[in-house]
Amino acid sequence: MLRKHFILWIVSVSFFTTWGMPADSKSTPNQQHQTKEIVQLALVGGRLIDGFGGLPLENSVVLISGNTITSIGQVGQLEIPDSARVLDTNGMTVLPGLWESHGHLMHLAEGTPTDYPKRYKDRAVELMAIAAEINLRAGVTSFRDTGSGVIAEQLILREEIRSGKRLGPRLFFAGPVIRQGNRGKPETPGDYKVSSPSEARSVTKEVIALGVDQIKVYGFWDLDILSEITRTAHEAGIGVDADVRHISAYRTAIRAGVDRLHHVFTADPLSDYSDEDFRLLVRGESPVGTGPSANILRGPYIIPTLEMRKAYARAFKFPEVIDHPRFREQFPPDIYEYLQEGWSNINAIPWGIGAIERVKFAKRKLQRFIEAGGREQLVAGCDTGSPLNFHTPLTREIINLAAAGLTPMEAIQSATLRPAQMQGVSEQVGTVSVGKLADMIVVDGDPLTDLTVLRHRIQHVVKDGFLIE
Give the pLDDT score at 5.
Answer: 39
| pLDDT score at 17 | 33
pLDDT at 152 (0 to 100): 95
The C-alpha atoms of residue 18 and residue 46 are separated, in whole angstroms, by 26
Q: Give the model confidence (pLDDT) of 221-240 as tens digits.
A: 899 999 999 999 999 999 99
> Exposure pattern of 325-334 as b/e (b: 16+ CB <10 Å)?
eebeebbeee
pLDDT tens by residue, the chain, 469 residues: 333 333 333 333 333 333 334 433 333 333 333 333 465 899 999 999 999 999 999 999 999 999 999 999 999 999 999 889 999 999 999 999 999 999 999 999 999 998 999 999 999 999 999 999 999 999 999 999 999 999 999 999 999 999 999 999 999 999 999 998 886 555 566 789 999 999 999 999 999 999 999 999 998 789 999 999 999 999 999 999 999 878 888 889 999 999 999 998 887 766 778 899 898 899 887 666 554 444 456 789 999 999 999 999 999 899 999 999 999 999 999 999 999 999 998 888 887 788 888 888 899 999 999 999 999 999 999 999 999 999 999 999 999 999 999 999 999 999 999 999 999 999 999 999 999 999 999 999 999 999 999 999 999 999 999 999 9
- Residue 39: the pLDDT is 54
Cβ atoms of 343 and 322 closer than 8 Å:
yes
Confidence (pLDDT) at 348 = 86
CA distance 246 to 90: 48
Record the pTM. 0.89
What is d(CA 310, CA 233) in angstroms, rounded to the nearest whole number? 33
The string of DSSP letters for 401-438 reads HHHHT--HHHHHHTTTHHHHHHHT-TTTSSS--TTSB-
Amino acid in the structure at residue 140: V
Looking at residue 418, what is its pLDDT?
96
Q: Residue 410 and residue 53: Cα distance in Å, rounded?
A: 7
Pick the closest to residue 180 from 204, 164, 162, 196 (CA basis): 196
Topology given in CATH for the domain delimited by 98-314+345-423: TIM Barrel (3.20.20)
In 3-state terms the chain splits into helix, strand, coil percentages (rounded to 5) of 35, 20, 45
CATH class name, domain 39-96+431-467: mainly beta
Where in the chain are the domains?
39-96+431-467, 98-314+345-423
| Res 8: pLDDT | 36
Strands 140-145 and 68-74: unpaired
Identify each DSSP E strand in 136-222 by its residue range.
140-145, 170-173, 178-180, 192-194, 214-218
